[in-house]
Chain A
Amino acid sequence: MAEINMLQAINDALSMAMETDDKTILFGEDVGHFGGVFRATSGLQDKYGRDRCFNTPLTEQGIAGFANGLASNGMTAIAEIQFADYIFPAIDQIVNETAKFRYRSGNEFNVGGVTFRTPYGGGIAGGHYHSQSPEAYFTQTAGLKVVVPRNAYQAKGLLLASIRDKNPVIFFEPKRLYRANIGEVPDGDYEIELGKAEVVREGKDITLLAWGAQMEIIEKAADMAAKEGISCEILDLRTLAPWDVETVATSVKKTGRLLINHEAPLTGGFAGEIAATIQEECFLYLESPISRVCGLDTPYPLIHEKEYMPDALKTFEAIKASVTF
């Protein structure tokens, strides 16, 4: 096993997907010879040819519509949206078309072969158009799967599973971890099952739940809490739609407390959905209100990024408030 970073793991997954299925087409803005602005697609055009890995004109709605057309006729489409902030011009194609192709046609046609990859999240001094976490917009749309990896190992396994899944997937890549996260990644082909949360660390006093780049934040907060004698159980949701209610509920029944952390603004964020469901599932087990540590209800700021972020310190404070409720 090699130690590689998340971008290399993603590149590896893309290459493997293209090698094992010659109907796989990879496209997006600058993904061709240049290899994408983050270099996630480096070398793939050389390996698989210009017909299978290419630059598109600069049109997110076009990229998404084109992906739908490809997949509706039996191809596997991997479309890169250069930044998650720029997925909104494509929202009609994704929400009204990609998500509903199978349902509205009675399965006469489907675009299960579509995967949208897109770098998301803050912490890179990107201001509000290079830092957003728009995952919640898509979790409300039936028919889409929403997946977020937290490290290089997951990025490869979850991306391969997403590409091969028979449903359209939006795969959010935490860009502040692209080069920062280095870990052991198997050379071979492997998949991580979608729709399953992972228990990252066992604990008994409170369950901490996050996904993607925020996982390292809650792990840090858990370390701080451990020094105060608080034992945190850490869960990585990994797939937001459809999400693993059972694993989360089992953990909360054990610890009696839940804290959810996400970068996106609090209001209407996916933490709200989790909190409501877990309250239903675990009402009699809860020792304190379910806690949400999220971004502020503002656009993502530039110079006040640090203040905006649901960081480890804010999370640590929320953990203490929950256990002493």
Chain B
Amino acid sequence: MSNATSQNETVHRVSFLDRDSVNIPILKILQADGTVYENAVLPAIDEALAHKIYDTCVFTRVLDERMLGAQRQGRISFYMTCTGEEASIIGSAASLDNDDVILAQYREHAALRYRGFTTEQFMNQLFSNEKDLGKGRQMPIHYGSSELNYQTISSPLATQIPQATGVGYSLKMQGKRNIAICYFGEGAASEGDFHAGLNMAAVLKSPTIFFCRNNGYAISTPTSEQFMGNGIASRGPGYGMHTIRVDGNDMLAVLAATQQARAYAVENNAPVLIEAMTYRLGAHSSSDDPSGYRSKDEEAKWQQHDPVKRFKLWMINKGWLTEKQDSELFEKYRSEVLAEVKVAEKLPMSSVDTLIEDVYDTPTPRLKQQLETLKTHIKKYPKSYPNSEGSV
């Protein structure tokens, strides 16, 4: 095995590479007015798929708008939107098989929705009630569903990246023609986990798609303060990895790239890196105020590239959607979300007994003893523990 590429050119005077030595084209298929670029090669998409994608876009817009509002009203403690990044997330999710495993960062709930997570399930997690699959143990937006092959979100950044390499490898070893897909932001690519995960995936031949949402900001830190190279895509060839850069606000470009990345990963048992160039239109989270670090003009400019609007125009051009159907869809989800909020916020929290479950496969004697001590204490002062008062 060679230590570098097999055909190193020889030079006889000093010559350095720099950030522009690697020329990375960006795949664009759909224009802002909803028409397709001349000579563009479209992804595999029919009317039914287009509707499923658009439906997920609308649901996500509504969910984000309503739940950010709910957070502002103090009904939930925290929220994160994916506004502006819907094409990146939904376009990639729509290219997958349901048995492909998704390891998301935290802003990819649209992919979970695409898989079939119900409005009620979203609400149960956001309100941490007794029906939350995560048993009320994590902050809002930390969704997960084994049924839908969507691994539960972890707050520490980038930890899912080497894990995705392991999941991809496990799928290969299980003889499945499936892949793992790992989402992360360009900020997460600064963590050691990014290097560890991508390098291992390339070397160990793990069928995994590493999907970078380059959305311009890691909380308040712009990309200019995050890295000096040619984005994240430039690192792919460095790892010996198939790599593509796409317009992350272009649903058809994301779809096309991910469809082909998936096929390549399955056929070759190899990873692929996708860098989607997009923009986080909203705040980082409900605890953040972007007006402190970026201008209204900048945001307004990116509003022109709204990925949902662009895809909607394409569907209208195709005759697959009307403005009337569009507003009806928004209305449908507005009332559905509102109705589910009302149900979910009234449900009780899970019993205090669940506190010691799932630490180990069965609670240890010490954990059982600690629970008994706690329950005795709660019985003595029930009013001081309103979440558990009823369950002791």
Does B166 make an interface contact (CB < 8 A)?
yes
Binds A, one of B15-23, B167-175, B256-264: B167-175
B196–A73 contact, CB under 8 A? no
Return chain B residues, CB-CB under 8 Å to A251. Answer: none
Does B223 make an interface contact (CB < 8 A)?
no
B173–A51 contact, CB under 8 A? yes
A109–B196 contact, CB under 8 A? no
Return chain B residues, CB-CB under 8 Å to A97. Answer: 154, 156, 159, 163
Per-position contact with B for A55-81: 1 when CB-CB < 8 Å, else 0?
011010110111111111111010000
Q: A138-168: which residues lie under 8 A (CB-CB) from chain B?
A: 142-143, 145, 166-167
| Contacts A61-B193, A61-B196, A167-B361 given; does A73 touch B135 at CB 8 Å | no
| Contacts A66-B162, A69-B163, A69-B169 given; does A106 touch B358 at CB 8 Å | yes
A66–B165 contact, CB under 8 A? yes
Return chain B residues, CB-CB under 8 Å to A66. Answer: 162-163, 165-166, 169, 197, 200, 204
Q: B44-82: which residues lie under 8 A (CB-CB) from chain A?
A: none
Q: A261-302: which residues lie under 8 A (CB-CB) from chain B?
A: none
Does A102 make an interface contact (CB < 8 A)?
yes
A56–B200 contact, CB under 8 A? yes
Return chain B residues, CB-CB under 8 Å to A88. Answer: none
Shortest beta-carbon distance, B146 to chain A, in Å? Answer: 4
Give the residue of A57, A105, A242 whose beta carbon is less than 8 angstroms from that of B134.
A105
B364–A108 contact, CB under 8 A? no
Per-position contact with B for A72-104: 1 when CB-CB < 8 Å, else 0?
111101000000000001001100110011111
CA distance A110 to B146 in the complex (A): 10
CA distance A109 to B145 in the complex (A): 8
A242–B364 contact, CB under 8 A? yes
Shortest beta-carbon distance, B137 to chain A, in Å? Answer: 6
Does B199 make an interface contact (CB < 8 A)?
yes
Return chain A residues, CB-CB under 8 Å to B168. Answer: 69
CA distance A143 to B133 in the complex (A): 19
Does B281 make an interface contact (CB < 8 A)?
no
A109–B200 contact, CB under 8 A? no
Shortest beta-carbon distance, B351 to chain A, in Å? Answer: 13
CA distance A64 to B200 in the complex (A): 11
B137–A109 contact, CB under 8 A? no
CA distance A56 to B134 in the complex (A): 33
CA distance A142 to B192 in the complex (A): 25
CA distance A110 to B133 in the complex (A): 14
Does A36 make an interface contact (CB < 8 A)?
no
B200–A57 contact, CB under 8 A? yes
Per-position contact with A for B121-143: 1 when CB-CB < 8 Å, else 0?
00000000000111101100010
A62–B196 contact, CB under 8 A? yes
CA distance A92 to B156 in the complex (A): 8
Shortest beta-carbon distance, B297 to chain A, in Å? Answer: 39
Does B101 make an interface contact (CB < 8 A)?
yes
B134–A108 contact, CB under 8 A? yes
Return chain A residues, CB-CB under 8 Å to B204. Answer: 54, 56, 66
Return chain B residues, CB-CB under 8 Å to A142. Answer: 359
Does A112 make an interface contact (CB < 8 A)?
yes
CA distance A65 to B204 in the complex (A): 14
Return chain B residues, CB-CB under 8 Å to A143. Answer: 359-360
Please give me the residue from chain A that is nearest to B363 by CB atom.
A242
Does B13 make an interface contact (CB < 8 A)?
no
Does B152 make an interface contact (CB < 8 A)?
yes
B151–A242 contact, CB under 8 A? no
B152–A96 contact, CB under 8 A? no
B162–A93 contact, CB under 8 A? yes
Please give me the residue from chain A that is nearest to B167 by CB atom.
A69
CA distance A243 to B203 in the complex (A): 39
Return chain A residues, CB-CB under 8 Å to B133. Answer: 105-106, 108
- In addition to A66-B197, A104-B152, 20 A-B residue pairs with Cβ atoms within 8 Å of each other are A52-B173, A61-B196, A62-B200, A65-B159, A65-B161, A65-B166, A69-B165, A69-B168, A72-B166, A89-B192, A97-B163, A103-B137, A103-B358, A105-B146, A105-B151, A106-B134, A108-B134, A108-B144, A109-B146, A143-B359
Sampled A-B contacts (30; CB under 8 Å): A23-B173, A54-B204, A59-B200, A61-B162, A62-B165, A65-B161, A65-B162, A65-B165, A66-B165, A66-B166, A66-B169, A70-B166, A72-B163, A73-B101, A73-B174, A74-B170, A77-B166, A92-B156, A92-B159, A97-B163, A102-B358, A103-B358, A104-B138, A105-B146, A109-B144, A109-B152, A110-B358, A112-B361, A145-B360, A245-B365
Interface residues of B (CB under 8 A from A): 101, 103, 132-135, 137-138, 142, 144-146, 151-152, 154, 156, 159, 161-171, 173-174, 180, 192-193, 195-197, 199-200, 203-204, 357-361, 364-366
The 5 closest A-B pairs by CB, nearest first: A69-B166, A65-B162, A62-B196, A105-B152, A69-B163
